[in-house]
Structures are given as C-alpha cells and as structure tokens.
Structure 1
C-alpha cells in the first residue's frame, strides 16, 4: 500500500495516516481506518517523506519507536504490526542541517537505506520505461497515432531524469498533450533539457509556475491544450475531434469539464467573418 505524502494537505494527513473516530472533527461522519490500520501486517510505502511537517515527523517517530498509533479522536493506542518503507528525492541531511527535518527521525530511518540510481545510468532500463510509459499514456489520452521522433527519443535517452520515473512520465505526458501533430518533437517537451552537446539550457518558467500536485498540473496542461485547439477551429467540435483523433462525445465531455464555451467561440468567429 502506498501513501503519497506530497499530495496530501497537512490538515488531512493525520486522519489519512492514523484514521479517525466519528465526530472527532467537522466532516467526520463515521469511523474510518487510516493507512496504518488498513495495511495490517503488510508493508506501507511512504512516498516523499521529506514533505512532512516537523509536527508530522514527530508523530511518525513515535510510531516507529513505540509501534503504536492512535486514531484522531480516540484515546486508545493501537499496535502497528506492519513495516514501513520510505522514499524521498530530497537531501535529508541538508534538511536536518537547515532544521527542516528532525535529526532523531533521520537517525532512526537512515540505519538501512537503498539509493536508487539515476535512470540515465541504466540506458537499457530507461528505453524500456520510455516505451512502456508512452504506450500507457497514448491509451489514457486517446491518442493511438502519437509517436516519438528520432530526435525526441534521443532527447529522452540523454536526459539526466534526476527525479527518476516521476519526471520522465510528467515530461512525456506534457509533450503528448501539447504536441500539435502525431509525431512528437523535442520542442513539445517541457523545459527540463538533456545535457547533450555541452549545451546549457534554462528551466522553462511556465513549468515552474505549475502546481506541485501532479493531477492539478496535468489538468492545467489539458485545459490549455484543448482550449487552444478549439480556438484554432473556431469552436467546431467535429473538426477539433477529427484533428485530435478522439470521439466527439469525449471532446464534449472534456469541454464541459473545463468549462470551455465552444458555442461562444463559434459565435465570435461568425461575427468576425461578417
């Protein structure tokens, strides 16, 4: 079982982690098990441990030391019989020095650690991941005819991918959504550039302005992409659907989701033509 800490707001974290009792806070309409109870004697994977607040770190340390946790609104501690694996892409040693990560927790969890190599250090595995992730994204976003140009493939193979698979997937998804043609070019990728030909590249400011939450960023990409394509065809759903290679029904649903007013686009276009 995986708990993505970076995607949880601080006020919800404790409830999601420890569970809660009915009436313990506004909105707690029933008893609910948290991740610790649900995992039982299995393994809980805590992704992005470096995103925890100092207060949450304190509670995690207590759990690791005492093997006990208490649901929100309860006074009865519950034994934890599972095991926990944690991951981060941040430098916890630096965070300890900056007083952003508890030294006692760092000592507790750093007894045994696994260092993940960069994807760029394993070209064979990187090639496999590019192919697998891209095929899944094509299915997910209904773009069966999309393919990578030779230059864009080399781009992907030469990038450092310091955030590993998450960064690779986000870049592929960005390019797939932003490309105007079926063949994806290097220019379609976000501004995290590969270190090739000794060229230095700047990180795209637009990418840095996006929300940290992966799903929010993805929706922002998709909203901008669809809006630009609708504008290109003056709000005409049939023509836009044909361009994108998706069904008219899917496109109408997307336009409704993102509140894209295709009727107004058609009206504005007709007025300009008149």
Structure 2
C-alpha cells in the first residue's frame, strides 16, 4: 500500500466539484442562491449552450468587499458563519463556502463585484482553479458571476452531460423553482441571446400564475399554517386538478 499523502488543494476542489456540481443546473443553483443571500431584489440569468458553454448571473445585492473577492473563490471561506452558534442557527441557502470554489476548479470563472461604499468594482478570474490577482473593473453595485466551458478540464465528467436542450431544461426548471420560492425578487432568463421570461417582483399568487399557469392558480387553495418556528405556506391543487405529469408539482 502507498504512503498517505495530503491531496493538493486543486484536486480537493475538483473532488468537491463532483459532489456539488453534477451539471450546469447545480452551478446555476449555487450562484443564484448566493445572490438571494446577498439581498438581491433582481437577478438576471443568461445561458449559452444549455449552460455548458456559458452561465452568467448578475444581481443587485450587497456585493463583495474588495479585500474579500479573491477569498470568495477559496473553499470554506464564507461570510455566513463564524462560530458554532452561527452554524446551529444558519438560515441562508449555502454556508460552507464550497460552491464558487468547486465551480471555479472545473471552469473558467470570472467574479466581478462592487459594494455600495466602493468607488469601483473589483474582478478576479479563475481558470482550472488558478486565480488571477484582483483588478479594478466597471460594474454597478452588486455581483456578476460568469462561468465558461464547464468541465473543460474534466472531460470524463463532461462526457456524462446530456444534450444542450436537456441541460437547459434542467437550468430553467431550477430557476423557476427559486423564482417561485422568492416572488419578492425579480428574475429574468435569456437563452442564447433570446429573452425567455422576465418576472417582476410580485405577490406569490402572481408568481404562481406566471410560472405554473392560470389553470393551476384557479384550481388551487392557499395554505398557511405553522407551530412554533415551523411554517408551511403556499398553494396546493384541489384533488380534481389532476395532470399526467409531475412537472408542475
């Protein structure tokens, strides 16, 4: 048996990427959830090649401090927890700080961000896990993450991706689910330069109608119940509203 050795950071990141990022939709979910955690009120998503060739997510959230922008692409670097007590009461989407680092290890990633206090934005790039030095950039308050050529350096993983149409469908479904859960946030989606949808901030009922359809909204019942810290709310279809597919569940 060979001697035990610590794995290099880049290989650790690529192994983690296999757990976190199975397909473009997983990368999109990680990035959009970061936008939601940053307090964004508008999130714009652009996809090319089903998200395999290019993913671009822009938000108007709080941004990343200039001194932290390179750290954002390191594993276990997070603004969401600092102590065990924070961990036990975490309420954000992601808190381990692995998402961006994992994506950066298997793509060509560009992170550009600006806080309200900054005179300009800062940008850092990663290719095959190698980070550039942060540089000044032009960008409004908020953050843009661009992911190009997902799995370009792990061809065995890229081989298992489906067609561009299939991968796009997974991305669109993922974004619709997040948009349903956060109707107070405006979402837009472009595919290969074509506008697919543009949802303004709206009520839950309006968001359900926009995504699931007016027939569901008409045949649904609002629910809102809870006990203690638990709450269940939303809309549920009447038993008479039956479909042959489960895609609108």
State the TM-score, normalizing by the size of structure 1. Answer: 0.27
- Structure 1 or 2: more helix by fraction: 1
The structure having more radius of gyration, on CA atoms, is: 1
Larger relative contact order (C-alpha < 8 A, sep ≥ 6)? 2
Larger strand share, 1 or 2? 2
